Structure 1
Amino acid sequence: MTLRGHRGVRQLGKTLADNRSEAMRFVARRSCYLVDLTAVLCSLATVTMADDGRGLRRGGDPQQISISGLSSGAAMAVQYAVAHSSTVTAVGAVAGPQWACAGGSLSRAVNACMCGRDALTPTIDTAHRLAARGAIDDLPSGKPQSLRRSWVFQSPADETVTAASGGADAVFLTAFIGSEPELDRGNAADGSDRAGHGIISPGGTDACADDGTEASFIRRCGAEDNPGKMFHALFDAQAPYDPDQRAPQVPASEVWAFDQQHVIEQVKSSHPPLADDYFNAFWFWWPDQSARRSNLDMASTGYIYVPPSCRTASSACRVHIALHGCKQDARQFAQLAGYNEWAERYRTIVVYPAIAPSEAVPGAVCRLPAVDGVADAAWIEPNPNGCWDWWGYLDTSSNKGRYLTKQAPQIRALEGIIAEVTAPGSN
């Protein structure tokens, strides 16, 4: 029943006089009305917290920035953390490939970095060369200024990003940071050591093992909890991990959309050259780029979860950027991946930037034939699975390798998002 204006209040008063028990069923939508016979039980009116309209501006603590992701999101998380190692304090990677493994080549990205068909080689020297020429943050004494902690999950049964590549990423992080990441390979008790490709959360909707029916790539393997263990490793490694500290499922209505487009426009205004994603056989009238590519392959909307303790302008909470993987629905990832249920425990604002969806190639990548080197042709760099740019699909032939640096378009967009989240907030 909905109450509107004074007429609604008079009707409520009459109802209370006639039948007090029936009046208990009234729930105020925005505020509680007082009437003669009793107060209208404000404490019992359950109001879903609506978007507060503040968008990204949250006054987050710029000294406590961390980032993580799944699959291509994991690759981008490590790329961002390496490029901005003077401002990022911690990084997590779930089923992600070795940093800089692809070398700007899609065929190598698939054949070596994901499927393990070709040998992997150390990439730490690449990081040092990029730092020496200022393409990424400086590395005083060869180590990052702020990046200190890392966490890696890699299921041995993953058929999309092999255990060898996940292990190589852990080796790189050890060499780059100077300390080993906490490496989680799952366990036999809940089957997470046999999990398919995806992030594991108690709220997952896909089966633990790969059964060919994956829809969300958010897997349920008993009580296994990738975000919970990740946040523990990145923020509170000294104390024992306690899975009981996980909060109940956060309602979908508490995950708010934000305008990502205005951040993208700031990057686009500098006109960064972008590789084509169409084959132009007609030169003059057929486009070289889709609207999606012209938008850096990013969506116009991202998502954010602000836990209750971080909803005041003076909260100065941690900021964590969580990046979805290929073929994933960004909104579903924001709602179900499991980060939100730990956000209040660690007073952390979780931001979910988004890549625009596309028509995905069906099937597990590593069950398909090897990718031919023709895929590396400079005139077309497609991204059919909606991945973050971890092999250089936005780079033209004249700026190969940019995807690893602070000048990479998507890295610049993430930097803009972080700048806005950490800007002073207002109530």
Structure 2
Amino acid sequence: MEARLAPAMSALFACLLASHAFGAVVLPKYNVSVNEVSVSGLSSGAYMAAQMHVAYSKTIRKGAGIVAGGPVYCSQGNLLVATGPCMADTGSRNLPYLASVISIWSSNGYIDSTSNLASSRVYLFSGTLDSTVRQAVMNDLKTMYGNYIPAANISYKNNVAAEHAMPTDYFGNACSVKDTPYINNCNFDTAGAILTWLYGALVAKNVGTLGGTFINFDQSAFWGNFNPTTHGMASTGYAYVPAACTAGQACKLHVALHGCKQNVATVGTAFYQHAGYNRWADTNKIVVLYPQATTTLANPNGCWDWWGYDDVNFPAKSGGQMVAIKTMIDRITSGNSAAPFTCNHWYDSNYWHVYFGRAYIGSDGQVYAVNSNQYLGFYSVAAYTDVRRTSSGYYAYGSCP
């Protein structure tokens, strides 16, 4: 009897989850090449953007814009390190150690090879008044990127008297203020500077009424229809889509990640409508994706996972939030649509994943998912991992849109 009830209960659970995203659409596919993908973020979104750029360097080829962030894996999975050395600059970030870890990850497939970064570009912004993520922290990110990217491809703006916020040239608090919605009018167009640095010369931005549309899409689809709110992500996300992209013209994709206390549930439309990206996107055929984090007991400020509050694999290709956003990119890009999905799930030890052919043991003795080559955990065959099967292979914390 219990075995017969299980499928019915699972179906009911899925329906209940879907109700949380009532009115949200399925994230569409657009005519976007994987060669035209970039990412940026503020604060926790900055840390998330940098770790996505490094982990998925084969996909995020154009590069990254980082506003008030720090070195990849700076937290080392420790909240006290995250808030101390990685934000307040109370102690060393030990760059040689972080570089050695990234080198190991690059060689064993935990992240994409860092050699892919050589052709990408990075734009860094740090306000001189930033009292949350000190400039010394951002300086170390610049140094870290210098290990992988030519100096000519790195731009660092660090002379604006800005507090901890997204600087714009038209919206928000005074530049010296640190307060909700953490968008400041600094007479400096950070979004424009990021997009221009990453994509080259752009058509002048639209300063009038936008001609595209905002969509509210279902994020639960990217957690295999499980509830993303238990993993620090909201049920729905947003995107701005220029009319030309809706019409099927060739477009670019930029992923913009909000900071802590800056999701829609906290600040409403402020970030996804007024961070400055959409004005440039409208005239330059750029789809702007705005994934949404949410609060949890371990994450009361609605930050992105850059210290491991949800997942020990947070900085890797197999990290839960990382995979969710990466799969959103795959859905949008013209050459990487992964649908349809078979949506089978197995939560099992990695030993049994290998036994049943869902994973394999690499030359380094670690366990990787078949086809996606995602690393399945720090503890090799003894780890327990949620592996999900799609039409294109097996994924750790994968999605079933």
Q: Give, in angstroms, the shift of residue 146 of structure 1.
A: 7.0
Q: CA RMSD in A?
A: 2.5
Gaps of at least 5 residues in structure 2 are 1-22, 338-401
For residue 172 of structure 2, what is the aligned residue in structure 1? 205
Answering whether residue 193 of structure 2 is matched by residue 229 of structure 1, we say yes
Whole-angstrom distance in 2 between the partners of 1:124 and 1:250: 45
Gaps of at least 5 residues in structure 1 are 1-50, 187-192, 269-290, 359-380
Partner amino acid, structure 2, of 1:159: S
Whole-angstrom distance in 2 between the partners of 1:219 and 1:234: 22
Superposed counterparts of 1:255-266, under 5 Å: 255-265=214-224
For residue 246 of structure 2, what is the aligned residue in structure 1? 311
Answering whether residue 333 of structure 2 is matched by residue 422 of structure 1, we say yes
Q: TM-score normalised to the size of structure 2?
A: 0.71
For residue 3 of structure 2, what is the aligned residue in structure 1? none
Q: Give, in angstroms, the shift of residue 97 of structure 1.
A: 1.9
For residue 163 of structure 2, what is the aligned residue in structure 1? 196
Partner amino acid, structure 2, of 1:163: Q
Answer yes or no: is the 8 Å Cα contact 1:255–1:334 preserved in 2.
Answer: no
Answering whether residue 27 of structure 2 is matched by residue 55 of structure 1, we say yes
Partner amino acid, structure 1, of 2:185: R
Q: TM-score normalised to the size of structure 1?
A: 0.67
Partner amino acid, structure 2, of 1:347: K
Taking structure 1 as reference, are residues 317 and 251 closer, same or farther at Cα in structure 2, changes over 3 Å only?
closer
Partner amino acid, structure 2, of 1:412: V
Answering whether residue 48 of structure 2 is matched by residue 73 of structure 1, we say no
Whole-angstrom distance in 1 between the partners of 2:303 and 2:242: 28
SS of 1:407 mapped into structure 2: coil
Partner amino acid, structure 2, of 1:391: W
Q: Give, in angstroms, the shift of residue 304 of structure 1.
A: 0.6
Q: Give, in angstroms, the shift of residue 219 of structure 1.
A: 0.5
For residue 351 of structure 1, what is the aligned residue in structure 2? 289
For residue 304 of structure 2, what is the aligned residue in structure 1? 388
For residue 143 of structure 2, what is the aligned residue in structure 1? 171
Q: Give, in angstroms, the shift of residue 58 of structure 1.
A: 1.8
Structure showing greater radius of gyration is 1
Q: Give, in angstroms, the shift of residue 392 of structure 1.
A: 1.1
* 1:289-314 per-position Cα deviation (integer Å, ceiling 9, x unaligned): xx7762x110011111111221223x
Answering whether residue 271 of structure 2 is matched by residue 333 of structure 1, we say yes
Alignment equivalent of 2:183, drawn from 208, 213, 218: 218
Q: Give, in angstroms, the shift of residue 202 of structure 1.
A: 2.2
Choose between structure 1 and 2 for higher RCO, CA contacts under 8 A separated by at least 6 residues.
Answer: 1
SS of 2:233 mapped into structure 1: coil
Q: Give, in angstroms, the shift of residue 138 of structure 1.
A: 2.4
Between the aligned residues of both structures, percent identity stands at: 31
Superposed counterparts of 1:252-331, under 5 Å: 254-265=213-224, 294=230, 296-313=231-248, 315-330=249-264, 331=269
Whole-angstrom distance in 1 between the partners of 2:211 and 2:180: 18
Alignment equivalent of 1:98, drawn from 59, 68, 71: 71
* 1:175-197 per-position Cα deviation (integer Å, ceiling 9, x unaligned): 122435100114xxxxxx22110
For residue 111 of structure 2, what is the aligned residue in structure 1? 136
Answer 1 or 2: which has greater strand percent. 2
Taking structure 1 as reference, are residues 312 and 105 closer, same or farther at Cα in structure 2, changes over 3 Å only?
same
Answer yes or no: is the 8 Å Cα contact 1:216–1:329 preserved in 2.
Answer: no
Superposed counterparts of 1:150-189, under 5 Å: 150-179=122-151, 180-186=153-159
